[in-house]
Amino acid sequence: MAEPRDYNDPSDYSKDVSFPFLGLAKGMWVTLKALFTKPPVTMYPQEKEIPVPRARGVIALDVDNCTVCMLCARECPDWCIYIEGHKEEQPPSKPGGKPRARATLDRFDIDYSLCMYCGICVEVCPFDALYWSPEYEYSEEGVSDLLHNKEKLTEWLATVPQPPAVES
Amino acid sequence: MTSLDMIHRSEAAVSVELQTPDMTLNIGPQHPSTHGVLRLVAKVDGERIQDVEPVIGYMHRGYEKLSEVRTYAQITALVNRIDWVSGFANEVPFIIGLEKLMGVEAPERAQWIRVILSELARISSHLVFMASYPLELGGTTPLMFALREREYILELIEEVTGGRFHPNFNRVGGVKPAYGGGSTTKKQSMDLPQGFFQRTSDAMDRMDTILDQLSELATGNEIIKMRTVDVGVIPGDKALEYGLTGPNLRASGVGYDLRKADPYLTYDQVEFDVPVGRDGDCYDRYMMRFLEIRESSKIVRQAIDKIPSGPLQAKVPRVLKAPAGQVYSRAENPKGEFGYFIVSEGGKMPYRLKIRSTSFSNLTILPWVLQGQLIPDLVAIMGSLDFVLGDVDR
Amino acid sequence: MEFFDGFWIQLVLKVAVGLLVILTGALVVIYAEVKIGGHMQTRIGPYYAGGRWGWAQPLADAAKFLQKEDLAPDGADRKVYGFAPYVVMMSALAVFAVIPMGPDLVGADLDVGVYFVLAISSISVLGVLMAGWSSGNKYSLIGGLRAAAQLIAYELPLVLAVVAVVIQASTMSLNGIVEAQNETLFTIGSFDVALPYIFRGQIVSFAIFMIAAVAELSRIPFDMPIAESELTMGYLTEYSGIRFTMFFLGEYASMIGLSAIAATMFLGGYSVPGLEGVSANLGGPIVLLLKVSVLVFVILWIRWTWPRLREDQLQHLAWRWLIPLALVNIAVIAVFKVAF
Amino acid sequence: MSDAPDTTAVEPNPLEKWAISLADRLQAEGAIVEFDTVRIAVARDQWVETIIAAREELELFSWLSAIDWSKDVAVGEGVAEPDELVERFEVLCRLSSVQSDAGAIFVTTLSKDDPSIGSLAPHIGGAEWHEREAHEMFGIDFIGNTNLIPLYLPDDFEGNPLLKSYPLISREVKPWPGDVDVEAMPAKDEDGDA
């Protein structure tokens, strides 16, 4: 057991009013100063804040890297990734080698109305097919429009930023 | 000043007792000061509340059941949604418990990062309180001042974790953002972004200024004092009986802070004070949070100085399986003791996960403390308990 | 131009111009409220409506309100519910009839102008009570009752503060009070110095009047009747559309009205030293407008800074402090009036 | 607890010593310490008395909940060895000291045929909501708690959601998208254009 701690004394603040109306006047001084200060406002549709590179905005898909391994769909807590694929005969990589079966992606949908932006799919992907993009402007008028298909997810790839430098 | 003192406590009791039937006033679930969807069925006699029955559950998401069908990695993503104003702080106790269960210890750098982000989460959570509490008392301006400052804090959290509210940054054995990129960049980008320490200590400096402003706007304000001093007094033994923790308990004069009483992470290596109140009234509860922001920024500054370099992640198996066992782990969430009781039967998912959410316990005292209060005081007391409905309903 | 000399045509013209000015004034104050409030909170406030600085925001809001469905709750007493906003609006507007904007620019120069103002402005309590009672909503009921209790409590200090001025001016005509403040007290060199009552011992009355006026307007720190965080919107909870607009405009109109009365009684009204004759009639409204703007700004400023008191604290403030203070003030003023 | 309370650990560490002495003082059935978590087994009919006595030194009432030990598992993972499982409820109550880091979880076992236990609510005000929660989630009866109305769920809700046998609808109305099998899990030695 840790030994009982000594607690610091209460009351480095006062509940009494030291000087009447001083607090009220101070408050009015603060708001008056604020009235003549330039507000730190970003006028959103005209000027945009640039999200940090790590921001989890939308998931981009690199179709070429995907092997249809289903790991992301299986690990997704919300079951919001739908993948379909088929196997295709590929010519042998080396002359004289065996022809190999290669999985081809037919469907890769992420339902952003279900997604909770946890990033588990990006993390488990063993082939770097999924990336986070900080892009956030993809609201839709209907919930069903939030289902992004393979083509749409590929478009996001252009918005994926370079990873930031890190502290050592 | 006597004039303000004289008019400060309600003596509105009518000397001639009129026989009036009680009126049932339904407050919420849609009400500006119930922080979401709390409903109070109050029996009132004029403005005085005879009896109040809180009705919760409008935001019940069944996290304890959901956790039983989710793997441990998926639960980490879930738990930061319980109390969304301090998402990171909810992950910490869960991941500590899981690490205990699996016998893994996170590297020191990861532990320090957890400390920094926990304290940033505490600051942001308390700033929400500093914003919303004066609003409940009718003062609208502190809201903007505090929320603007919180935005800078959230930006810092986002910069590291990728999420403002839901970091999902803790992994068993370390910390790690989910960042897409080639395998090499994935590894590189795990650490804190460059310049983070500088920006954080700048933010802490700015915090001092904003706290001065807030104290001029709200803390020293006579009307705030009139509305909160000696209102909603919770004595220490009642607070313990109802399981109040965190600033609400400390306001009642019980200096119980898990960061000191049961140090976890690297809290035993930093120096800070735990503010303790005396009377347990609304003003004490308000001041606890106000003073804790200062202490938190002290901790963050020390952590920035002390953080060592090194790995962020201990070696863990790819598929997380916890051995059978039962572990209770807790941490000092901004709102109080946040605990997880993990019952594992050796699988990938817990057999049972009991979430001891802070706001739920803090709210149980509501019927007791609201008896005989006035309707305006109801708002003041409810606000001073600083609950989040997601944390109450789970 | 015999036509324009007719009584009725003059009346209609006066009313139309008056209404236009007052409602425009109310819209301007609403705009000032959102814009000043925004900047005090380090925001910008309205920005888009009207192209520049969001100047058309109040108009856009009004247009929006007018389009909305006029809802009445099931349990409402419909007649009373529908009538209440007009009572409040009427009382807010009628006050302007006697406020002098120049030596000859006054709707009706009553001998008992002060009495009229106080009587008319307290009618709004009736409208608020009607709204609270008829809405069929418990929040509205509590709000209405709070408003009634509050307005009654503050009527008294308001009246007593005015009585002190009436004693000093020895007249109940508002025009007479302004003229009394425009009298030359003494001369420094070639300057005739006339001082408004606020500098002539009425500072306490002025403070009491302004506190009571803010309470009567139900504005922060005395906005318990509408108390958004407690009673959602008090007696306004169920109102929407045009009826809500009536309440809303009424509130701002009476803010201007009470500020104008305060300016008239304590700040010299339309008069400034050196402004006489025709130029007083021309410049008077502008002078009054400036004085009113200052008072309105202070009321807005307070609203965006301070929190709200509690109903019982307000009652204590009124009955225990303001009313005795006002009575003592009257006694002192009366003694000075008799002695000097 | 799936295994019998075991108070005779080989070499008790300080925490275990403390746990055993606490169990002795409270005349409880035994103490288990694993992963720094102290659990004190309490007889069902001693429940209320023990908790009240324990609050003498562990002042803070932290939480109260239950576990459903069941073979019938509708969703999620069941117990490791279902054959040896005794079907039962466990009611847990956590008390902590505010003077030190001490704290213990008090556990008692209820049979599934008669899931009822004395209520703490008349003695510890904070227990009322926790008992209401356990009542609606597990169907455990707390005798003496007069206010056992549903806390979270609608009044007309049927069933006890946290029972292991209670299905999770959201996992049943929708097929698992991970079910489609195209290729086995990627092998480590995947090469070429993968």
pLDDT confidence of residue B179: 60
Restricting to D residues 150-179, those with a Cβ less than 8 Å away from any Cβ of A are 174, 176-178
Question: Could you tell me the pLDDT band of residue B1, with boundaries at 50, 70 and 90?
Answer: very low
Which structural domains are found in chain B, ordered by start? 62-366+385-393 (1.10.645.10)
In the DSSP assignment, the letter for residue D187 is P
Interface A:B, Cβ pairs < 8 A:
166
pLDDT value at C58 more than 80: yes
Query: Tens digits of per-residue pLDDT, C254-274?
Result: 888 889 888 888 887 777 766
| Interchain CB distance below 8 Å, B376 and C310 | yes
**pLDDT number for residue C131:** 87
β-strand B39-45 against A147-148: which pairing, if any? unpaired
Alpha-carbon gap: B139 to the closest alpha carbon of chain D (Å):
32
Q: Does the pLDDT value for residue B92 go beyond 70?
A: yes
pLDDT digits (tens, 9 = 90+) for A44-87: 888 888 888 888 888 888 888 788 888 888 888 888 888 887 77
At residue D189, does pLDDT exceed 60? no
Cβ density class A98-126: b for 16+ within 10 Å, e for less = eeeebbebeebbbbbebbbbbbbbbbbbb
D181 contact residues in A (CB cutoff 8 A): 70
For the segment D3-34, what is each residue's pLDDT rounded down to a tens digit? 444 445 466 688 888 888 887 887 777 888 88
* Residues B249-304: tens digit of each pLDDT: 888 888 888 888 888 888 888 888 888 888 888 888 888 888 888 888 889 989 98
User: Mean pLDDT across chain B, nearest whole number?
Assistant: 83
Instruction: State the residue for tokens 């009736």.
Output: C126
CA distance D5 to B163: 44
How far is residue B379's CA from residue B385's CA, in Å, rounded to a whole number?
Answer: 10
Which pLDDT value is given to residue D191? 40
| pLDDT, position B171 | 83
- Higher-scoring residue by pLDDT: D82, B19: D82
> Tokens in use for B81?
């949604």
User: Is chain B in touch with chain C: ≥3 Cβ pairs within 8 A?
Assistant: yes
Q: What pLDDT is stored for residue B187 in this prediction?
A: 57
Residue A168: the pLDDT is: 62
Domains of chain A, CATH where assigned: 58-159 (3.30.70.3270)
Average pLDDT across chain C, whole number: 83
Domains and CATH numbers, chain D: 14-179 (3.30.460.80)
Residue C335 has pLDDT above 80, yes or no: yes
pLDDT band at residue C16 using 50, 70 and 90 as cut-offs: confident
Q: What is the pLDDT of residues C86-98, one digit of tens each?
A: 888 888 888 888 8
Which of A29, A58, A131, A167 would you mutate first to test chain B, the one with the most B CBs within 10 A?
A: A167
Alpha carbon distance A111, B380 (integer Å): 42
Amino acid at residue number D26: L
Three-state DSSP string of chain A: CCCCCCCCCCCCCCCCCCCCCHHHHHHHHHHHHHHCCCCCCCCCCCCCCCCCCCCCCEEEECHHHCCCCCHHHHHCCCCCEEEEEEEEEECCCCCCCCCEEEEEEEEEEEECCCCCCCCHHHHHCCCCCEEEECCCCCCCCCHHHHEECHHHHHHHHHHCCCCCCECC
Whether residue C207 lies within 8 A of chain A, CB to CB, comes out as no
Beta strands A130-133 and A58-61 are antiparallel
SS3 letters across D51-113: HHHHCCCCCEEEEEEEEEECCCCCCCCCCCCHHHCCCEEEEEEEEECCCCCCEEEEEEEEECC
Band (pLDDT 50/70/90 cuts) for residue A138 is confident
Chain A residues in contact with C297 (beta carbon < 8 A): none
The two three-digit tokens of residue D64, written as one number: 């109260």
- pLDDT value of residue D11: 65
Half-sphere exposure in the Cβ direction for C107 (13 Å, CA): 21
Look at residue C24 in the predicted model and tell me its pLDDT.
87
Alpha-carbon dihedral sign for residues B68, B69, B75, B77: negative
Q: Answer yes or no: is pLDDT of C236 > 80.
A: yes
ipTM score for this prediction: 0.84
C214–chain B nearest CA distance, Å: 15
Angle (CA) B75 B77 B82, round 5°: 85
List chain C residues with CB under 8 Å of B12: 311-312, 315
Burial C59-89 (b: 16+ CB within 10 A, else e): eebbeebeeeeeebbeebbeebbeebbebbb
Selected residue with higher pLDDT from C152 and C293? C293
Run of H or E including C312: helix C311-316
Q: Taking residues B74-101, report their average pLDDT.
A: 87
φ/ψ bin of A106: left (φ > 0), alpha (ψ from -120 to 50), beta (otherwise): alpha
**pLDDT at position A4 over 50:** no
Q: What is the pLDDT of residues D140-177, one digit of tens each?
A: 888 888 888 888 888 888 888 888 888 888 777 777 77
pLDDT at B15 over 60: no
* Strand ranges for chain B from DSSP E: 23-27, 39-45, 48-55, 170-171, 174-175, 325-333, 336-344, 352-356
pLDDT tens-digit series, residues D110-135? 888 888 888 888 888 888 889 888 88
pLDDT at B141: 85
pLDDT band, residue D183 (cuts 50/70/90): low
C39 part of contact set with chain A, CB < 8 Å:
yes
Q: How confident is the model at residue D39 (pLDDT cuts 50, 70, 90)?
A: confident
User: Please, are residues C23 and C253 in contact by the beta-carbon 8 Å criterion?
Assistant: yes
- pTM for this predicted structure: 0.86
What pLDDT shows up at residue D182? Answer: 60
Q: Which of D36, D37, D106, D138 to probe the B interface (max B CBs under 10 A)?
A: D37
Helix (H, G, I), strand (E, B) or coil at B55: strand
pLDDT > 50? residue B8: no
Chain segment B320-341, per-residue pLDDT in tens = 788 888 889 988 888 888 989 9
- Using a CB-CB cut-off of 8 Å, the residues of chain C touching A35 are 36, 39-40
User: Quick check: B141 and C321 CB within 8 A?
Assistant: no
Highest mean pLDDT pick, B298-307, C93-102, C128-137: B298-307
Q: What is the pLDDT at residue B170?
A: 85
pLDDT in tens, B180-205: 544 545 555 567 888 888 888 888 88
Of D14, D182, D192, the CB nearest to A70: D182
Q: Report which of residues C3 and C224 the model is more confident about.
A: C224
Q: Give the SS3 label for residue C227.
A: coil
Burial class (CB in 10 A: 0-12, 13-18, 19+), B204: buried
- Whether the pLDDT of residue A143 is over 60: the answer is yes
Q: Is residue B385's pLDDT more than 70?
A: yes
Amino acid at B326: Q
In the predicted structure, residue A7 carries a pLDDT above the cut 50: no
- Is the per-residue pLDDT at C230 higher than 80? no
Check whether B7 has a pLDDT greater than 60: no
User: Is a pLDDT exceeding 60 seen at residue C14?
Assistant: yes
pLDDT of residue B14: 45
Residues 100-119 of D with CB under 8 A from B: 100-101, 103, 105
Which of A21, A28, A56 is most worth mutating to test chain B (most B CB atoms within 10 A of its CB)? Answer: A56
CB < 8 Å to A37, chain C:
42
Residue C209, CA atoms < 13 Å, CB-side half-sphere: 29
At residue A8 the predicted structure's pLDDT band, cuts being 50, 70 and 90, is: very low
Residue D187 has pLDDT above 60, yes or no: no
Residue type, D113: D
DSSP characters over C266-292:
HS-TT--TT--HHHHHHHHHHHHHHHH
Q: Are C260 and C157 in contact (CB under 8 A)?
A: no
Q: Which residue has the tokens 């009553």?
A: C110
Rounded Cα distance, C116 and B135, in Å: 38
Q: How far apart are CA B177 and CA B173, in angstroms?
A: 13
